[in-house]
Chains A and B, each alone.
Chain A
Amino acid sequence: MSQVPENLKYTKEHEWVRVEGNTAFIGITDFAQDELGDIVFVELPEEGSLLIAEQTFGTVESVKTVSDLFAPVSGKVIQVNADLGEHPEKVNEQPYEAGWMVAVEMSDAAEANALLNAVEYQAHIVES
């Protein structure tokens, strides 16, 4: 059974968002990492680049497949998890902690509020 922490927001494409003030930390869910299997590369945008909600901002490659990352919210990338360059397996091991991907300064906080909550996301993965 996949972990779905209650304090996070989710997209249907299996990204999570942790909101701290005006900053959104973004990663992929436990369900997503489990579906992808062993993750070997994570390609992320550079600090300072702009994300647009629902558009791709990077890719995650596992041994068996490659998957696009979709921005849950719009805003400027203020931090990138550089550890994932050397240790992409952290996304498998700790998808909600050490496996976070980017931190974004949100341009529209309402976007985060409109995302799925834990109960809704749980229902979404049961369906899919």
Chain B
Amino acid sequence: MTFKRTPLYPLYAQSSGKIVEFGGWDMPVQFSSILKEHQAVRNAVGLFDAAHMGEFFVTGADASAFLQNMVTNDVSRLHPGEVLYSPMTYDDGGTVDDLLVYCLAADQYQVVVNASNIDKDFAWLKEHTKGKQLTLTDRSEQTALLAVQGPSSQTLLQRLTDTDLSNIAYYHFTTGTVAGLPALISRTGYTGEDGFELYVDATAAPALWETLLNKGQDLGILPCGLGARDTLRLEARLPLYGHELSSEITPLEAGLGIFVKLNKESFVGQQALAEQKAAGLQRKVVGFVLTQRGIPRPGYTVSAAGQVIGHVTSGTLSPTLNQPIGLALVNAKFAAVGTPFTVDIRGKAIGAQVVKTPFYKRDH
């Protein structure tokens, strides 16, 4: 079996990047140390290769209405230059994927999906285009995505562009040039810090990667891998598809209710989600901390009152809090903040407690 590789693969294969398989891709899990890379993003700036993510373009008179029907959040509110996060669901309310919708123009959108779901998502969307006046194209191969994340990301990026970055608000974007290369500059990210995501032509990615690392040296930039991406997103309580979200888990169960607009015009999954909400959730994704030593890992069993109540979906030792943290999908009766339960860590029942999330929120 061979895995797909991003345009940056040759760069990190020859450096110290440690490569692992992730969702069908050969990706760097770390360059130096997950902890150091994590701290670089929290305190300075880090650079991520996110070129494995998928980019679709939806253009045409029906583009907006089509997306409004396909995702749970309200696409009709989007103006050109704005970005929207949304789950996308099946008829039964299970989650197809979670994605970003970029409004390029009133009849032109970019949809950014998870790497492991590119083929599945494209087929799912395609299936619903019949009779619609629109074109759906997969530009994942031609498009690379580099993420510049951390409090110093604007300082770094401003050195490489004439675009006034202070004018780009969170979840907004513009087009411009970065290091002389045409780029879509988006103030978004998956780390809980301020930062930018740069969409560029795949052929330009290696040069941009090296330029960003060189120009960011004095700011303490580090190239960061998927390991730090995971610890950062988990502290910020951002879901990861395949963990907190799946075809078996609805966005409501995952705690993403604010991105599910049940009152907008009809969308795929609306009825099932409305019914689930009306009936009351049977299970919920909750944040927890361990009250004893250990690290909760995905799949570990969660118990309370002598019975299994769910499982861990994500977990780590929080580098910022220096405490074991995790998310678990549990019986809703045990979802209230403060509820104690135990996590089965290799045969030992380790104490845990439901806490408010996010685990980390930036103060700047």
Contact = CB atoms under 8 A, between A and B. Distances in A.
B224 to A, nearest CB: 13
Contacts of B295: 40-41, 61, 66
A35 B319 CA distance: 19
Contact of B227 (A61, A63, A66): A63
23 contacts: A37-B18, A37-B29, A37-B30, A37-B227, A38-B33, A38-B34, A41-B294, A59-B346, A61-B294, A61-B295, A61-B317, A62-B34, A63-B34, A63-B227, A63-B231, A63-B316, A63-B317, A63-B319, A64-B29, A64-B34, A66-B295, A66-B297, A66-B346
Interface in B11-61: 18, 29-30, 33-35
Contacts of B316: 63
A88 to B, nearest CB: 10
Cβ-closest 9 pairs across A and B: A63-B34, A38-B35, A40-B317, A64-B227, A38-B33, A61-B295, A38-B34, A37-B34, A37-B30
Contacts of B30: 37, 64
Contacts of B317: 40-41, 61, 63
Which interface residue of A37, A38, A41, A61 has the most chain B CB atoms within 10 A? A38
Which interface residue of A40, A41, A59, A62 has the most chain B CB atoms within 10 A? A40
Contacts, number: 35
B293 interface: yes
Q: Is the interface of A mostly helix, strand, loop or mixed?
A: strand
A55 B317 CA distance: 27
Interface in B300-342: 316-317, 319
Nearest to A63: B34
Contacts of B33: 37-38
Interface residues of B, number: 16
A41 B293 CA distance: 8
A62 B363 CA distance: 28
A36 to B, nearest CB: 10
Contacts of B18: 35, 37
Given A37-B33, A59-B346, A64-B227, 4 more contacts: A37-B30, A37-B227, A62-B34, A63-B227
Q: How large is the interface on A (under 10, 10 to 19, 20 to 34, 35 or more residues)?
A: 10 to 19
A37 to B, nearest CB: 6
Interface in A52-91: 59, 61-64, 66
A66 B316 CA distance: 11
B29 A63 contact: no
A35 to B, nearest CB: 8
Interface in A20-60: 35, 37-38, 40-41, 59
Nearest to A35: B18
B18 to A, nearest CB: 8
A121 to B, nearest CB: 20
B36 to A, nearest CB: 8
B315 to A, nearest CB: 11
A37 B28 CA distance: 13
Contacts of A61: 294-295, 317
Contacts of A63: 34-35, 227, 231, 316-317, 319
A46 B35 CA distance: 29
A35 B227 CA distance: 13
Which interface residue of A35, A41, A61, A63 has the most chain B CB atoms within 10 A? A63
A35 B18 CA distance: 8
B31 to A, nearest CB: 11
A63 B293 CA distance: 14
Nearest to A61: B295
A89 to B, nearest CB: 9
B326 to A, nearest CB: 13
A66 B312 CA distance: 15
Contacts of A66: 295, 297, 346
Nearest to B346: A59
A61 B34 CA distance: 13
A38 B32 CA distance: 10
Nearest to A65: B297
Interface in B225-240: 227, 231
A80 B35 CA distance: 26
Interface in B104-141: none
B347 to A, nearest CB: 11
A29 to B, nearest CB: 16
A48 B227 CA distance: 37
Contacts of B34: 37-38, 62-64
B229 to A, nearest CB: 11
